[in-house]
Chain A
Amino acid sequence: MSKIAYFNLPDVGEGLTEAEIVSWKVKPGDTVKVNQVVVEIETAKSLVELPCPFEGVISELMAAEGDTVEVGKPLISATVADGAVGATVSEAASVATAHEAVAEVAATAAAAEERTPNLVGYGVADPNGPVRRKRVGVVPPAVPVVPGVPAPAGHLAVPTHPETHVLAKPPIRKLAADLGVDLSKVAPTGLNGDITREDVLGSAQQASVFRNLSTPAAPSEREERIPVKGVRKAIANAMVSSAFTAPHVSIFVDVDATRTMEYVKRLKASTDFAGTKVTPLLIMAKAMMWAVRRNPMVNATFTAEEIIVHNFVNFGIAAATPRGLIVPNIKDADKMSMLELAQAIEQLAATAREGKTTPADMKDGTITITNIGVFGVDTGTPILNPGEVAIVALGSIRPKPWVVNNEIQVRQVTTIGATFDHRVVDGDVASRFVQDVASVIEEPALLLD
């Protein structure tokens, strides 16, 4: 009896996701021994010869030279003796069914290739064509694709050789992979013709402007069924329990955020905030904490017996993550300086994006903000995070006509929406709170109070 075994591409270098087939050392029909070199591959780190883990007769080479194969996908199939050590074996035990099995695995591999791979080092492959990495770098465009990142004065123009490889340090390659930036399409501005962090960030920004313009094709199935479990189930339960426990009341106010935007710009330029992300959300958070101090009832918890008014702020920020909506909070955010808060927000977002938010991060929140403006909408009626009595929605901030001194001017305008638990927060408190937040957005200098 014999059976079909597969040799799947291993991760030969601590965290690699793929490798390119450089050359095959065997062909179908060849008899191979244990540890006989069957293929030479090139990873992001090195050229590597792969020894066969089993003895047998090669049935099929499951990728062509020049192809890029994902780690875990089969390289070869072979007929091996029953009981052979080292064989990843399909259930197809007889040679007669071997071809079907191979075809099936090959189809899986082909399907996998169509996915946009998460690459370390080589950017994102063209999802429309076969996954085949170019041997030489792509000719850089004549005009830098990175807006707003001029070469530092005094630097010589970087010669770009169309024949050279893409030059980028490993962290930059990682960043590019994370952001889905194809390094071969980025114009380098580094001293040695290397791609810098700014080049990648600029390119990612450029890409994001156009990201939503393509409409995906309609799926062929009439409906898709997504199991309700995990985070989605937790979201559903929390929303239902919140909406049907606390009587919600929402109010809105339009506000001129021009000065806030100028303030954000100045903070971004200041050396103290160098390397820290500054966004209108930061000012909004500060504004809310200022308003909480003037209206403490919005920072409370309602229980059957009592209302607990918190004299600290665990500031929740709703975050959209790949696994769904979560609301981690920044503990004692009211004690933080502007810089500390900015760093804490950045950290919270990064942790959430990586899916590393812990239950402790999400516990004991006292008030929440949801930044729906980043999705381009004006406002909404948010649902309370269970255990809290107020949530604020920050809408998009954009130029709009605004009346100033009886004249229409173009100002940066946004809408602040907020929802309160009416069991705790009455209309007057709610209105004063929202008005206070709005006044800081209109004049951030109030924070100096």
Chain B
Amino acid sequence: MSVLVDKNTRLIVQGFTGKEGTFHATQALAYGTNVVGGVTPGKGGALHLEKPVFNTVADAVKDTGANATVIFVPPPFAADAILEAASANIALIVCITEGIPALDMAKVWATIKNGPSRLIGPNCPGVISPGKCKIGIMPAHIHKEGRVGVISRSGTLTYEAVGQLTALGIGQSTCIGIGGDPIIGTNHTDALKLLLADPDTDAIIMIGEIGGDAEEAAAKYYAESGSTKPIVGFIAGQTAPEGRRMGHAGAIISGSSGKASDKMAAMEAAKITVCKTPAELGASMQSRMREAGLLN
């Protein structure tokens, strides 16, 4: 098993015929993801990558039975794309787009948060259950099927952790890139809940960064859950100056909230092994799993 995506995932691509959509849909197909079609308004009826193109998400769902969508639509139109997907009641919406205005996302989130769709992102690398299904922009070949879940706000830092795990022969159940924006659909706690409840996930890597207090909340949830699944964590931005935006719109320390040191302390208090540098993520996970008898 795994969470969010697997062999039963039927994926459509919004922004299917664009450059990004085409490239990553091709990669997903090569990985074995069941891409059942895509949406580009005005190009309905055509075939692209040998899959049907639809004018609307509603049409695509009706015709293909899609239960997941990935959004590669430029920032000015991405909020609309998320709302369109949600209005078609798609179970999983993965929004890769970076640069959506925060107030657009505030409106989108208020509209869809109590609905049936789960949103991953925006501004995220996507979700992969290695060996089963890949949705997003992560390089496929660094992954290996296995039993460690990965949660991260950052794309390349996720790859860093995954690369280290795979090099040590430790596979992954599902890797969830939750996104670097201030408003995201699935936060650390939501992703953690899924992986803690997954019988095929033995241990979890949780990577955060400065800004907000989502990592603190997830650490608190873990402590209160009573779960014995080992968690290894890392917080990026320990040396970031205050008040500056470090690439991700969400990574800004304002006042006393959002500091790396606060997050690390909260995670340690919850018995999460906190790495000082990302170079130790794989080895730390290996030793935690050995201690727990999950690895020889």
Is A bound to B?
A: no
Binding site for B on A (CB under 8 A): none
